[in-house]
Structure 1
Amino acid sequence: MLEIINGFLVVYFVILCTLSAIVPILVKPIAACFSRPSSKERSILTELIKLKAEQQKISMKDEFAAYSKLQRKINKLDSELKENSQSRLSKSLAIKGSINIILQVVVALIIIISVIWFRREPIVALNSNLFPFSTMLRYPSDMPNAISTHVWVVISNVSIRSLLKPILS
């Protein structure tokens, strides 16, 4: 029923369409490399943990002044840590969006250039005639009952995204 004419292009376009579908998954680890906590944040966090441990050793009833002083320091460091983490979070969101757009554009350009480059190459030949669709499926190839790269990319893209939808969601 189906004869693969150009196996390399079949695999090539399936890989490109799969890459296009999994770009959102690839963005997270790439963006994580750019938005790690700074050394200042880590030092604030260690100091905060140290102060909380020190505060737990102090009795609130017996040494209220020392306990309150530590609590003010803890509150100050906690608010500073929250500000830093909020700015890091907004930076992380901007980085994720930028990386996602860049990767999608790169993959889309590769697919478009490849489709233009291999536009006359038939990918798959069908044994049966699918009149009236055979002309649309083979365009711009001249081989009868063939599937062109344009149609193969659309079929691959829709199929792969449908298959990966449960995984990506």
Structure 2
Amino acid sequence: MLEVINGYLMVYFVVLCTLNALLPSIVKPVAACFSRPSNQERTIWEEILKLKAEQKIMSIKDEFAAYSKLQRKINKLEAELKDNSQSRMSKNIAIKSSVQIALQVVLALVMVVSVIWFRRVPIVALKGNLFPLTTILRYPSEMPNAISTHVWVLISNISIKTLLKPLTS
């Protein structure tokens, strides 16, 4: 029923389509490498923890002034940490979207160039006659009952995205 004419091309396009479908999942760990907390944020966090530990030792009734002073320092440091964290998160979003766009452009260029380069090479030949669909499936290849690169990429893209949808959601 099915005869693979060019197995390497078939696998090549399946891999490209799989990478295309998994791209958002691939970008997350790559972007995470660029958005780790800075040394300043770690230092502020350590100081907050130290001040909170010091505050726990104090009695709020006996040393109200010192307790309140520590609380004001903690509030100031937490506000500073929050500002730093928000700027880091916005940078993370910018990096993530930039990396995703760059990878999508590279992958799209590779896909388009490959489809154009191998446009006349049939990937799979079907046994039997698929009369109404023969011309559409083989275009621009001249081999009868063949599936061309264009159609194979279309079928692979739709199939892989459908299969991987539960994993990427």
TM surpasses 0.5: yes
Output the CA distance in 2 between the equivalents of 1:131 and 1:54: 83
Q: Which residue of 2 aligns with 1:84?
A: 84
Letter paired with 1:105: V
Shift of 1:132: 1.4
* 2-structure distance, mates of 1:158, 1:107: 16
Q: Could you say which residue in structure 1 is the equivalent of 2:102?
A: 102
In structure 1, runs of 5+ residues without a counterpart are none
CA distance in 2, matches of 1:130, 1:49: 72
Matched, 1:130 2:135: no
Q: Deviations over 1:47-96 (max 9, x none)?
A: 11110011000010110011001001000000000000000011111111
TM-score (norm 1): 0.99
CA RMSD of aligned residues (A): 0.5
Give the total of aligned pairs: 169
1:26 alignment counterpart = 26
Runs of 4+ in 1 over 6 A off after TM superposition: none
When structure 1 is superposed on structure 2, of 14-23 and 92-101 the one drifting more is 92-101
Normalising by structure 2, what TM-score? Answer: 0.99
Gaps of 5+ in 2: none
SS across alignment from 2:156: helix
Look up the match of 2:57.
57
Q: In 2, Cα distance between the equivalents of 1:40 and 1:158?
A: 47
Q: Which residue in the other structure is 2:154 paired with? A: 154
Q: Using the alignment, how far apart are the partners of 1:130 and 1:48 within structure 2? A: 72
Give the C-alpha shift of residue 141 in structure 1.
0.6
Q: Which secondary structure state, in structure 2, belongs to the residue aligned with residue 22 of structure 1?
A: helix
TM-superposed deviation, 1:15: 0.2
- Structure 1 SS opposite 2:132: coil
- Cα deviation for residue 128 of structure 1 reads 1.1
